[in-house]
Amino acid sequence: MARVLITGSSDGLGLAAGQRLIDQGHEVVLHARSDARADDTRGAAPGAAAVLVGDLSSDEQTRALADAANASGRFDAVVHNAGVGSGSAGLLAVNVLAPYLLTALLRRPDRLVYLSSGMHRSGRADLAQLDHPSYGDTKLIDAALAAAVARRWPDVLSNAVDPGWIATRMGGAGAPGGLEEGAATQVWLAVGDDPGATVSGRYLKDLREERPAPGVTDERFQDALLDELARRTGVPLPE
């Protein structure tokens, strides 16, 4: 049994991954933006061990979430799933700064999974865009962050996932994919024992590795990204 934290798990892919892991018998800690959303989350996933609260658009609440998560015990796996599709401030805070801060502040797990997107291919590996990123920019950064952490922490399995175009609030009702298939790769990387699930520094879709856009695997960009995120947050990634 693994102990797994999933950010942004009130709805959509995060909730679906949580429900799947609970069904498999894992100890799953979910996360919601507010007390009201935490109530909704407990209703949707009554088997969750706990639901932590924190609005990831707030630096202060993100740090408090890391403290609360650490106080609850170390996680075997953390899935950085929370994300927004638009709004400059939210894109930077929720899609970029929050996963970085939580990575740097949480007790180091054995496995890290970062939700990227096929739309990272339209993103720019250019830190000058960070104050006004597009969605694609932030998803390129999430994939580069996963790869950067994999290099810095060889003892941790750190990977990025494209879940496919899935019918959620973000994906829209007309999306071709269902929640089951959209959550499968994250769940597999979080707890699976197959050789394909115990890789690191990779980008996966549908349980298979894909080659991401060149910026993701550019080690100079990865190092510059970690430096910039450390500078902005004041929290360097621990050695």
Ligand X SMILES: NC(=O)c1ccc[n+]([C@@H]2O[C@H](COP(=O)([O-])OP(=O)(O)OC[C@H]3O[C@@H](n4cnc5c(N)ncnc54)[C@H](OP(=O)(O)O)[C@@H]3O)[C@@H](O)[C@H]2O)c1
Which residues are the active-site residues?
A: 135, 139
CA-to-CA distance for 148 and 141, rounded, in angstroms? 10
Residues 6+ apart with CB under 8 A from 89: 57
Structure tokens at 198: 């115990």
Is 59 or 110 the residue whose CB approaches ligand X more closely?
A: 59
Is 181 or 218 the residue whose CB approaches ligand X more closely?
A: 181
CA-to-CA distance for 97 and 91, rounded, in angstroms? 9
CA-to-CA distance for 66 and 57, rounded, in angstroms? 14
Candidates 83, 123, 133, 136: give the one binding ligand X (CB under 6 A): 83
Candidates 60, 155, 169, 194: give the one binding ligand X (CB under 6 A): 169
Chain center to CA of 218? 20
Contact code string over 107-136 relative to ligand X, x by CB under 6 A: --------x-x-------------------
The arrangement of strands across the sheet holding 157-161 comes to 50-53, 27-32, 3-6, 77-80, 111-115, 157-161, 203-205, 208-210
Is residue 76 a contact residue for ligand X (CB under 6 A)? Answer: no
CA-to-CA distance for 221 and 223, rounded, in angstroms? 5
Candidates 64, 124, 156, 165: give the one binding ligand X (CB under 6 A): 165
Q: Which stretch binds ligand X (CB under 6 A): 6-14, 100-108, 202-210, 211-219?
A: 6-14
Is residue 82 a contact residue for ligand X (CB under 6 A)? Answer: yes
Instruction: Collapse the DSSP code of 218 into the 3-class scheme (helix H, G, I; strand E, B; otherwise coil) and give the result.
Output: coil
Q: Cβ distance 177 to 12 under 8 Å?
A: no
Is residue 212 a contact residue for ligand X (CB under 6 A)? Answer: no
Q: How far is the CB of 226 from ligand X (least distance, A)?
A: 20
Q: How far is the CB of 83 from ligand X (least distance, A)?
A: 2
Q: How far is the CB of 1 from ligand X (least distance, A)?
A: 24
Is residue 103 a contact residue for ligand X (CB under 6 A)? Answer: no
Residues 6+ apart with CB under 8 A from 111: 76, 77, 78, 156, 157, 158, 189, 190
Q: How far is the CB of 203 from ligand X (least distance, A)?
A: 12
Residues 6+ apart with CB under 8 A from 186: 13, 17, 79, 81, 113, 115, 161, 163
Is residue 37 a contact residue for ligand X (CB under 6 A)? Answer: yes
Q: How far is the CB of 84 from ligand X (least distance, A)?
A: 5
Is 91 or 223 the residue whose CB approaches ligand X more closely?
A: 91
Which residues of the shown chain bind ligand X in the complex (CB under 6 A)? 8-14, 33, 37, 55-57, 81-84, 94, 115, 117, 163, 165-166, 168-171, 175
